[in-house]
Chain A
Amino acid sequence: MRAFHHAMAALALLALLAFGVVAAPGTASAQGNVEGRPEAQEILRDWYYLMNELVRHTPTYSPPVASRSFGYLGVTAFEAAVGGSDTLVSLVGQLHDLDSVPQREAGAVYDETVVISAAMSDAIVFYFGNTGPTGQRAIQRAQEKWRARVVDGVPDDVVARSEAFGKAMAASIRDWSLDDGGAVVTNMGFPETWDLPKGDDKWVPTNPIRQQQLPLLPEWGNNRTFAIPSGATCATPGNPAFGTATDTQFYKEALEVYETGKALTPEQAAIARFWSDDPMLSMTPPGHWVSIALQVAERSNLPLDENVDLLARMGIAMSDAFVGCWHEKYAYNLIRPITYIKKNIDPKWEPLLNTPPFPEYPSGHSTVSGSMDAVLTAFFGDNYEFEDHTGSPDGRNPRTFKSFHEAAEEAGISRLYGGIHFHAAIVDGLEQGRCIGGYTNALKTRK
């Protein structure tokens, strides 16, 4: 509850400002004035904090799966808010196959807090319905307790209308999501069968876990994208030519990983662990970036319009980033440093981090971080300094960044410090991500 407590502390102050009726074209919005009642952007962030917990505690939630859910969740919140806003422009027609969404009743009064909470209350079930019993219990308790808070003081007819609209929006976006290729994930993303490409440069399993003898989500790169044309958009240049001779670029990059790992400084180790973001042990790289956004949004008390715009853009870009990255990963099927180095440099070498169970090139964390650099920098501007407390519950010290660009660069190089990626995968991944983020930045979300 730490995150919620933090959010609630801010909420108590802001609730004093939470009264007013805002007229929007064709509709009206109501905000109750009951003390302690959250504003729409606050309840939105509370739901996101809970969803980020569920990312960590739902076994299916590898980074690509998490990014997809954040994509649809972001669009859900955004479209739920569009009708009550005089600044937002719908994403209908801008995202692939998103042809229509429910519309508000003209002239009717809606409460934005109730709309957003109802939409998230249903969406969390759609995307996290496969979580465990503790997650199910948490969802149920949040639905009960938070609903009681958001409807407090709001007329019954407004509650009913607002909840119906929020739920309809969540259902509509869920329906849109079902045929994108990523809706059904079995065996935690590991295929029943998969022909591993053969060759000295090809990926082979890197751990003795039976489930991970085949690579994660090998067909994820074929999923429908949100904003980029397809997973093949923003293609990478490809890894350096494979070689084992000491004068080859490939060997040099492997030697860099090896030597860096052998002489790792405490700062480099801290960076590697800070961005480790292991599935099922953290909120994953997508969740880490969402966590950063929530911290910044809370600090800035972003109003609802900006908050939904931010979360939608981030979700779209990170989901597209993972589709694009996975498309490339299974185009190259590149060997991991642990395999190459043990075979060609030092059979006893071990990386600092656990090597992820899928091909190396490009780096997924780098691609998603590059996309977040593009989106967050466009949203907040250059040189936006922030402190990131994401890993604090796990005992990691917060880190301060002068810009989102700096944070993305550090996330990328952390994979080299951790011994799980070569240099090219990081550089090319960051660049691929920035390219993908550019498509999100081109979306029109404001009038």
Chain B
Amino acid sequence: MRLASPTFAFLVALAGTAASQDTAPVPPPVVPSFVEETGSAGIDSVFQGGWEYMVGGGGAAFDCNGDRFPDLLLAGGEKPATLYRNTSTKGGALAFAAEKSGLELEGVSGAYPLDVDGDGIMDVALLRVGENVLMRGTGDCRFERANEAWGFAGGDLWWTSLAATWEKGADWPTIAVGSYIDRHEEISPWGSCTDNWLLRPAAGERRFAAPAVLKPSFCPLSILFTDWNRSGTPSLRVSNDREYYEGGQEQMWKVEPGKDPALYTADEGWRFVRIWGMGIAAYDLDFDGYQEYFLTSMADNRLQKLANVPTDGTAPKPSYAETALARGVTAHRPYVGDDLRPSTAWHTEFQDVNNDGLVDLFIVKGNVWEMPDFAMKDPNNLLLQQADGKFVEAGDEAGVASVEQGRGGALADFNLDGLIDIAVVNRNAPAQIWRNTSADAGGWVQVKLQQPGPNRDAIGAWLEVRCTDGTILRRELTVGGGHAGGQLGWSHFGLGKETDVALRVVWPDGTADDWQPLAVNAFYVVEPGKPATAWTVN
């Protein structure tokens, strides 16, 4: 694959090399260095359980005590979930302290941070095998159950996925939750996918209405509200596990304010795709303003881009072309060891782990449960993006090729040194955390949005960082996707050798701020219509 000029020139410049011919060899990306610090960091969590915990195992990264260091909540399955307060210092070794927070529920399979009531203190949505629970943050990493206070129906299903958005004009979030199979079916659970729910604000109240069922439901393992067509109104992308549905496929729901949700149809351009959908990651890889979607599965994974990007200002159709093979991100089998059976992929995120300005892709891998046709020693992938838009595997060289039974994860700068660190939740094995110790990474900037009103964290906003050649790096601020876990905090951009960049935020209401210059290697807090405020670690 060849990226068109001027983007190609930008990519090469970011990579710190020169190439004047299309046929010139592509410079290899800087391989980051990671050091596992699980033990020394104080992480000792295990996502544990039998059949009902063969999926799930999410991790959530968010700041629960106001110091802006990302804390970690790890699902425990049959064991209680564990909240780890981040006690790291800037640039230092990773350090966490497990503490009682109120989140120590059993049956937790995943978690997403979300400031439901907009009080500026992060709340947490717990996905469970049984009843989902919203936990209201009360400050200093303490939480209390809020289902009843917020009218949140938790149900009693095998919950596997969650996404949240603020619909236009709403002062309360809309939450979608996806459920899996009927866990009480023993001999023939196939085809027993239970309902997915959409929980919208109750009219005139700051609480949830009774859930609406999103039928048909096809056993999703990841869902994501995302503004795929830049309409200003996110849709709900649903990645379903074909192992269990009958007559199903991948789905995308139109969720428009005041209207019942409606599926995109084949007549509208939605393509019939059936995979073992397990995780979703999104990023505008080719700088065209629209995001690509990476979907994890078994054996091959998918990287979808809009099949046709209109140039006449009309809205695109929801038709996606498959580009994983062309870009080198199929990640279909192990790349280390002698176990070459097909892979099983779960959590995934796009982050720039070497700060070269080209976002990279991390994939958590692990056998479902002694499934003999698939690799048992299945290393996590760290796919580094090259200047030509293709990705190359660097998990082993970077030091993150764990072959535990991986499930969830979180990529965040846990010690606020500008480098993305990695946490992974493993099933029936200890979670792991790696510190990024790269010495030759590029520059970076990290941005935290906050706005007045109920949607304090500006979920649905787009952050845009403009480089000197005009290329724009974009990130949509979302709650959902990944596999059973997500993060909310600093948005990180790698910048390569850039020294002068500009930031623009398109806020959830569609208002776009003016471009404003940012210094590199710095943290900024940004509010609507105001100059970005630099933030420094105390």
Q: CB-CB < 8 A to A212: which residues of B?
A: 300
Name which residue of chain A comes closest to B242, CB basis: A281
Q: How far is the CB of B334 from chain A (nearest CB, A)?
A: 12
Among B187, B190, B330, B371, the one with the most A-chain Cβ atoms within 10 Å of its Cβ is B187
Contacts of B205 in A (CB 8 A): none
Q: For the complex, is A300 an interface residue (Cβ under 8 Å from B)?
A: no
In the complex, chain B residues whose CB is within 8 Å of the CB of A133: 51, 54, 368-371
Q: Which residues of A contact B372 (CB under 8 A)?
A: 129-130
Given A208-B325, A210-B332: A142 and B187 within 8 A (CB)? yes
Q: Tell whether A187 pairs with B341 under 8 Å between CB atoms, given A1-B187, A393-B191.
A: yes
Q: Which of A35-43, A51-59, A312-320 contacts B (4 or more CB under 8 A)?
A: A51-59
Contact in complex: A138, B189 (CB < 8 Å): yes
Closest chain B CB from A433 CB (angstroms): 28
Cross-chain contact of A188 among B187, B342, B369 (Cβ < 8 A): B342
Chain A hits for B370, CB < 8 A: 133
Asked if A99 is at the interface (CB within 8 A of a chain B CB), the reply is: no
Verify B247–A393 contact, CB threshold 8 A: yes
| Interfacial chain A residues near B340, Cβ < 8 Å | 187, 192
Q: Is the CB of A132 within 8 A of B369?
A: yes
Contact of A141 among B187, B190, B369 (CB under 8 A): B187
A185's closest neighbor in chain B, by CB?
B373
Interface residue B90 (Cβ < 8 Å from any Cβ of A): no
Contact A141 B247 (CB under 8 A): no
CA distance A379 to B187 in the complex (A): 32
| CB nearest neighbor in A for B343 | A211
| B167-210 contact mask (Cβ, 8 Å, vs A): 1 or 0 | 00000000000000100011111110000000000000000000
B243 at the interface (CB under 8 A from A): yes
Closest to A352 in B: B272
A396 to B332, CA, bound (A): 32
Given contacts A186-B341, A211-B342, contact A394 B325 (CB under 8 A): no
Of the four ranges (under 10, 10 to 19, 20 to 34, 35 or more), the interface on chain B belongs to 35 or more
Q: How big is chain A's contact interface, by range?
A: 35 or more
B324 within 8 A of A: yes
Report the Cα distance A430→B253, complex, angstroms: 43
| Cα distance A188–B341 in the bound complex, in angstroms | 9
Known A-B contacts A133-B51, A281-B274, A395-B246; the reply to A57 vs B190 at CB < 8 A is: yes
Quick check: is A280 within 8 A (CB to CB) of the other chain? yes
A2 and B185 CA atoms in complex are apart in Å by 11
Residue B299 at the chain A interface, CB threshold 8 Å: yes
Does residue A198 face the partner (Cβ distance < 8 Å to B)?
no
Given contacts A130-B373, A141-B186, contact A59 B300 (CB under 8 A): no
Determine if A132 and B189 form an interchain contact, defined as CB atoms under 8 angstroms apart: no
Contacts A133-B369, A186-B341 known; list 13 others, CB within 8 Å.
A2-B188, A4-B188, A132-B371, A133-B51, A134-B181, A134-B243, A145-B187, A186-B373, A209-B300, A211-B299, A213-B325, A281-B274, A393-B246
For this complex, 22 residue pairs linking A to B, each with C-beta atoms less than 8 Å apart, are: A1-B188, A57-B190, A58-B373, A59-B374, A129-B372, A130-B371, A133-B51, A133-B368, A134-B51, A134-B243, A138-B187, A142-B187, A145-B187, A186-B373, A187-B333, A187-B341, A188-B299, A188-B373, A209-B300, A211-B299, A281-B274, A393-B246
